[in-house]
Structure 1
Amino acid sequence: MPAAPRPRRDTRGIVDAAGLLRHVRFRRHVPAPPLRPYLEHYWLIDWDLPEPYVSHVVPHPSVNLVFQQPPTGAPSGEVAGVGLGLFRKKLEGRGHVCGAQFRPGGFRPFAPGHAVAELTGRQLPLGDVFRAVPATAAQDVTGPDDEHARVAALDAFLLRHGPVPDPQADLAMALVDHVRADRSVRRVGALARAEGVSVRALQRLFSAYVGVGPKWVILRYRIHEALERAETEAAVDWAGLAADLGYADQAHLVRDFTATVGVPPTAYASR
C-alpha cells in the first residue's frame, strides 16, 4: 500500500522563517484526494503573543483561500489573489488562520467565471468569487479546536465548489511546474518555443489561469531560490548563484532581491 502523501516541508518564500516559527505554530496538511491535483496544501497558523509580531512573505504565484479568527471580532473568509509585493501581516494577541494554497493555475476550476488576473493583488470576500457561500462558512473552518476538523471543513468547502475539469488549467499548472523545477528556463520565448505556442498565447494563458505573466513567474522563483539559499547556507556564492539563476551578473540579482525583500541579499544573509 503506497505511503500517504505528505505536504512539502520547505519554508520557501518566508522571510526570516526561523523568526516566524519562534512566534507561531505553523503546519501544513494534504487536502482530500479529489482536490490534490489543484492545491499545494492547506496551511494552519496559531499564535498567542505577549507582544505584536510582523511576519513577511514573498508570495508564490498562487491564489489562497483564507479563513481567519482574529483576537477580537467575528471570523472571516476571503480569496487572496497573487500578491505582487512583499506581504506583511501583523499578528497580536491570540488568534488563528487556516488557508488553502492553490497550485499556480489550479484555482480557476473552482471559480470558472473569473480570469485569475482579476484577483491579482486583491483580497475579495468569498461571496464575490464563489456562489452560494453559507453564512457559517468562516465559522465552520475556524471554529473547531481540532486542526483535523478544520482541514475537513476546508475540504468540504472546496468540494462544494468544484473542481470543474479544465484542460487549460492542467496545461497552466504543468507549465508553472516546469518553470519551478527547471532552472534552465530563463526566457519566456524559450518556454513558448519548447511548448510549441506563441509568446502571446502563453501570456494569455498565464493571465487567465495563473494571474501573472510567465516572466513574473520566472523572476519570482529566482528570488525564492535566492531567499532559501540565504536562509539555509552559511556562506552563499552570490555571483555563482546569479549565474545559476540566469542573471546577467550579480548586480541584477542584488537589484531584484532588494526590490522584493527590502534589503540586499548579503545584508539579509548576515542577519
Structure 2
Amino acid sequence: MVDPTRGVLYPSHLPTFHRLAPDAEAADAVAWFWIPEWRLPEGAVSRQELVSYPAVNLVVAPEGVTISGATTRASTRELRGAGWAVGALLRPAAVAALVDDAAVLVDAEHPFDAPDLHAAVTAAMGRDERHRETAVSAFSAWLSQRIGPLGAAGWQANALVDVLWGERAALTPEEAATRLAVSVRTLQRLTHRTVGLAPGAIIRRRRLQEAAQRLRDEPETDLAALAAALGYADHAHLSRDFSAVLGLPPRDYRARASG
C-alpha cells in the first residue's frame, strides 16, 4: 500500500487512523481499508481536509452504510465527540458490481442498503484490541460474497488502478491506453463507468496528491523541479492545478503544512 497519509492534507490533525490490507478473498475488490477512530473533548472539533483518491468508497459507520464517489475538489469533514468508521477504497471491478454508473456518485455520498454488512462490522468494532482486523475480515467476507469471482471485464477494469495511479503510473491517457492495449476511447468508457472521472482527471488527482505529500515531507523541494518530476509542463501549470483543487497555491500550502 501507499503511504497512509497520502491524500491527507494535514496529517498532524488526524485522529487515530489506520490503513489495512484486505483479506486475500477481497484483494480483487478493495485496494485497502481505512479506519479512523476518535474521542474528542466536549465541544472540540477536529477538521479533516483531504484530497481524496480518485475512487469510490464504501463506508460503514455507527449510523449506517454509505457509498461515496470520486471528488473534484479538496473535501472537508468535521469530527466531534467519539466515533469510528471503516471504509473500503474499492477497486474498479467492485464498483461495477455495486453500482450501475460511478459517474452519478462524483462529489456525492448516498446511503447504501447493506444491513448485514453494517451489523457484522459494528459487532467487530465493539470487540477487543484486534477489533480493526476483525472488522476488515468481516468487510472482506461480505464483499467477496457480494461480488463473486471476477470475469474478464473485471480484470481489465482493475488494471486501471495500476496504470493510472499505482507505482510508475502513466503520465498521460495515451500512455495508459497503450499500456492497457485499448483505445483512448475505451479507456475513457472504463474510467467513466468504474470511477466516474475521465482518465486525465484521475492522473491529475494522483499528481496533486504526490505534490502535496512532497511539499509536506520535503519542504525545501524546488517547485519547478517538482513540477517537472510529476509531468507538468512548468511550475505555473502545477500551481494552477494545485490552486483549483486545494484552494491555495503550492507555496501557501507548504507554509501552512509545515507551520
TM range (shorter): 0.7 to 0.9
Tell me how far 1:154 sits from its aligned partner: 1.3
Q: TM-score, normalised by structure 2?
A: 0.87
What is the rounded CA distance, in whole Å, between the counterparts of 1:109 and 1:34 in structure 2?
Answer: 18
Pick closer, same or farther for the CA change 1:187–1:155 going to 2, 3 Å: closer
2:209 to 207, 216, 224: 224
2:192 to 207, 211, 218: 207
What is the rounded CA distance, in whole Å, between the counterparts of 1:36 and 1:125 in structure 2?
Answer: 24
2:40 match: secondary structure: strand
Does residue 1:106 correspond to 2:99, yes or no?
no
2:215 match: secondary structure: helix
What is the rounded CA distance, in whole Å, between the counterparts of 2:181 and 2:143 in structure 1?
Answer: 34
Pick closer, same or farther for the CA change 1:168–1:262 going to 2, 3 Å: same
Does residue 1:34 correspond to 2:25, yes or no?
yes
1:270 match: secondary structure: helix
Amino acid at match of 2:126: D
Contact in 2 for aligned 1:39/1:106 (Cα 8 Å):
no
1:118 to 97, 104, 114: 104
Tell me how far 1:190 sits from its aligned partner: 3.4
Q: TM-score, normalised by structure 1?
A: 0.84
Does residue 1:161 correspond to 2:155, yes or no?
no
What is the rounded CA distance, in whole Å, between the counterparts of 1:170 and 1:265 in structure 2?
Answer: 37
What is the rounded CA distance, in whole Å, between the counterparts of 2:121 and 2:180 in structure 1?
Answer: 40
Partner residue, 1:142: 122
> How much identity, in percent, do the aligned residues show?
32
Does residue 1:15 correspond to 2:41, yes or no?
no
After superposition, the CA RMSD in angstroms is 2.0
Amino acid at match of 1:18: S
Partner residue, 1:58: 51
What is the rounded CA distance, in whole Å, between the counterparts of 1:60 and 1:204 in structure 2?
Answer: 19
Any unmatched runs of 5+ in structure 1?
A: 1-6, 70-74, 128-132
Contact in 1 for aligned 2:159/2:180 (Cα 8 Å):
no
Q: 1:21-40 CA distances to partner (integer Å, 9 max, x unpaired)?
A: xxx11112222211112211
2:147 match: secondary structure: coil
Pick the structure with more helix per residue. Answer: 2
The number of equivalent residue pairs is 248
Contact in 2 for aligned 1:67/1:99 (Cα 8 Å):
yes
Partner residue, 2:160: 175
Tell me how far 1:194 sits from its aligned partner: 4.3
